[in-house]
Structure formats: structure tokens, C-alpha cells
Amino acid sequence: MMNYRAIRDPLWKHIFIPEALADALSSADFIRLSRIRQLGPTELVYPGATHTRAGHSLGVYGIARTMLEILERRGAAEWITPQGKMSWYAAALFHDIGHFPYTHSLKELPLEEHEALSAAIVLKPEIAECIEKAGGNPEQTAAIIDKQRATDNRETLFYRKLLSGVLDPDKLDYLNRDAYYCGVPYGIQDTEYTLDQLYPDIHRGIVLSGNAIVSVENLLFSKYLMYRSVYWHK
């Protein structure tokens, strides 16, 4: 039976991480994320915006885990493997591990994409060994994070679509988290309801029930409002 480590989060309450995978939270690369502000210098305008890449990464993992559990119950279990599932969890947890400070402020510079950096970091022994002990495959984790890595594995391609799309764990966490710490209402999503309206599709990743259209509209408009009031604030 797998052991889990419970981590308290102000947004999602308890986040349960397999013990072997949680050991990677003590790695130098992940600890570095706890010193990188999610919104860079935004705290100069919104004093509460001191949250970090580490907290966001844990939140994305928590949502990704819930998302996959729902999709499994609705048919995705047909193509999901135990190893692939753990690789997916690791990809969600470490998707931003290659981020450096002020990434978004420096995006006009010819720097290597953070996805490529993150994929390279998860293959480093300190983290790769934790992924393997948890039952995942570091190479698959890297391929989920970095779309430039060649693969024809349909499970890996499925996870790629989940990790980066219109309605993905990354957006569901950062919109809620940024709004929470900035003290603004614009990014708040009904995450539990939205996740409950998802259905799996091997080719497209997810499809939505008709009732979920309003959730997508809310997410897109919330993103616009967050850019206008927070991310582009001068």
C-alpha cells in the first residue's frame, strides 16, 4: 500500500502526495521554487502577492490528481497505466521547476523555454530517482512537460493535452491562487464544479458537458480581467 504525505494548502486544503514523490520536494531544484515569487514584482502593487512557484506547483499537482481520478471513472482507465499515472502526477508537480525569477518579465529575451528546462531537471538523478521509486517513468514525465520531445505514446500525448489546454490544472490553480493572494475577485473559479463536468477523449484530452460551457466562459473572462487588473497593472 502506498504511503502519502499530506500538505496543507490555503486554497485546496489537503494535498496528498505519494511519499516517494514527496521526497523530491527536498531537492535543491524544488526548494529554489519556494524563493521565486509567482508574480515577480507584483507585490510592490499588491502586497499580498508573495506566493511562490512552489505553492503553485503543489496546487497544480492537487488539481491534476483530482482531474485524472474523475476522467478514470469516466472511461480513461482504458488507456491509463499505473506507471503513466505516476508520471503524470510528477509532470504536474514539476511542470514549473525550470522557471527562473521574473520569467514573464523577461519573455522577450531569447532564453530557453522553461518547459525544456523543467524536462531536463526531472531527468537529474535527485528527482528522477524519486519518480522511479514512486512508480513513474522520468522520461515519460519529461515528455509530458516538454512537447518538443518526440513521442508516439498515446497515453503520454493524452497527458500533454491535459497539462496544457484551454481548461488545464495550471490555469485553474494560478487564476484562483493569484486572485486569492492579490485580494481581488476576478480570477476565482468554481473549480470543483468545473472538474466534475469533464469527460475523457483519447484524441482531444478532455471534452465538456454542455453545462460546463459557462465554466469555460468564466475562466476565459477571468483570465482577461486578471491580465487587465493584475498582470498588466502599472
- Structural domains in the chain, CATH included, are 4-231 (1.10.3210.10)
Q: What is the rounded distance in angstroms from the CA atom of residue 64 to the CA atom of residue 159? A: 10
Q: How many C-beta neighbours within 10 Å does residue 116 have? A: 16
Residue whose cell numbers read 507584483: 42
Instruction: Write the DSSP string, 2-18.
Output: --EEEEEETTTEEEEEE
pLDDT-derived band at 104 (thresholds 50, 70, 90) equals: low
pLDDT-derived band at 211 (thresholds 50, 70, 90) equals: confident
Is the distance from CB of 171 to CB of 36 less than 8 angstroms?
Answer: no
Sign of the CA dihedral running 166, 169, 170, 173: positive
Question: Which triple of cell numbers denotes residue 190?
Answer: 468554481
Mean pLDDT of 94-108: 79
**Nearest C-alpha neighbor of 89 from the set 126, 118, 62:** 62
Residue whose cell numbers read 502577492: 49
Distances (CA, A) of 22 to 118, 191, 219: 17, 24, 30
Check residue 129 and give its pLDDT: 98
Is the distance from CB of 143 to CB of 161 less than 8 angstroms?
Answer: no
Q: What is the rounded distance in angstroms from the CA atom of residue 59 to the CA atom of residue 195? A: 14
pLDDT-derived band at 148 (thresholds 50, 70, 90) equals: very high
**Nearest C-alpha neighbor of 79 from the set 130, 88, 115:** 88
First to last CA, the chain: 52
Give the pairing of strands 198-201 and 13-18.
Answer: unpaired
Check residue 136 and give its pLDDT: 98
What value does the mean pLDDT of the chain take?
94
Q: How many C-beta neighbours within 10 Å does residue 120 have? A: 15
Distances (CA, A) of 41 to 117, 164, 172, 231: 23, 25, 22, 10
